[in-house]
Amino acid sequence: MSTKTHVITATNHKGGCGKTTTIVNLAAELANLGKSVIVIDLDPQGNTSSHISTITPSELSFTITDLLKDGTPNKLLHSIQENTNIPGVSLIAATQSLLVLAEENRLATIHKTNRPHAILNRVIAPLDGVYDYILIDTGPNLGVLTGNALESSTHYIVPVKSGSVYSIEGLAGLPAFIDHIKKSNPKLQPLGVLFTDYNERQKADRLAKSVIKDLQKDKMPIIPIEIVSSTKVDFAALNKTSLSELDNNSPVAKSFKRLAMWVEKNV
């Protein structure tokens, strides 16, 4: 991909850190800013797809699995849902069928290549310049699917659940993985660590910031916006809508509005 379209991946190989919530609501707020946005779900759990899609993902004729198996853009247009639960946001969905391709050597075997991380980049190349933003959700690992996401991306965000030791530990192997990907995608840049489920009054959350600043120093910037803790996150997912559609004036919805504006200025 060139730089006509900003491609942003959310990654952290620990689960429950807010990747899906970040992708869904950042997409919604960028669309609210008038940007054209498509979300690609690369997580076999398919939570992003279940949230955004108006069709049960398992009933779709084409998903990201089909695109990666084919390895070309031939089925790309058939895989895009333009009408979704999030106004202005298109989707390429995932299902559990993606689990088969998550095996480290499967894509390399199918395509007889020693560069299995490069397949998604080839598949979505025609989207360059069509959308302002492509946002990619990934699963809780640093395997071949996350590698494909990052090799296709211009930027990445690392959601970290505030106060969670396990979420912070998810940063441990990321720098080395990023360094490996940057050998073939030198344009990849960090937007930074995004604190989710944040509560300033919690000592653990303040400590989490201190720990990451100490561990990462200047290698991994910290996004200067926290996604505040709120039960509305679960309600929005249950109702398959964005936080701003659920309650536009809620603190957590405003957090994502600020994040979208910050992203616009920093990509």
pLDDT digits (tens, 9 = 90+) for 124-144: 999 999 999 999 999 998 999
**pLDDT value, residue 261:** 98
**pLDDT value, residue 13:** 82
Q: How far apart are the first and last CA of the chain?
A: 15
Tokens for 198, please give them: 């944040």
Q: In what order do the strands lie in the sheet with 155-161?
A: 80-81, 89-92, 37-42, 133-138, 6-10, 155-161, 189-196
Determine the distance from the C-alpha atom of residue 54 to the mean position of all C-alpha atoms in its chain, rounded to a whole number. 20
Cα(72)–Cα(111) distance, integer angstroms: 11
Closest CA to 43 of 35, 54, 52: 52
Over 70: is that where the pLDDT of 1 sits?
no
Closest CA to 66 of 92, 85, 105: 92
Tokens 């390895």 belong to 71
pLDDT digits (tens, 9 = 90+) for 22-31: 999 999 999 9
Provide the pLDDT confidence category of residue 103 given band limits of 50, 70 and 90.
Answer: confident
- Calculate what percentage of the chain has a pLDDT beyond 70: 88
- What is the rounded average pLDDT for all residues in the chain? 90
Return the amino acid letter for 222.
I
- Calculate what percentage of the chain has a pLDDT beyond 90: 75
Of 195-199, 231-235, 242-246, the one with minimum mean pLDDT is: 195-199
- pTM of this structure: 0.93
Average pLDDT (211-232) is 76
Provide the pLDDT confidence category of residue 218 given band limits of 50, 70 and 90.
Answer: very low
**pLDDT value, residue 105:** 83
**pLDDT value, residue 205:** 52
Provide the pLDDT confidence category of residue 200 given band limits of 50, 70 and 90.
Answer: low
**pLDDT value, residue 233:** 97
pLDDT digits (tens, 9 = 90+) for 42-84: 999 999 999 999 999 889 999 999 999 999 999 999 999 999 9
Provide the pLDDT confidence category of residue 179 given band limits of 50, 70 and 90.
Answer: very high
Q: How would you class 98 by CB atoms within 10 Å of its CB: exposed for 0-12, middle for 13-18, buried for 19 or more?
A: buried
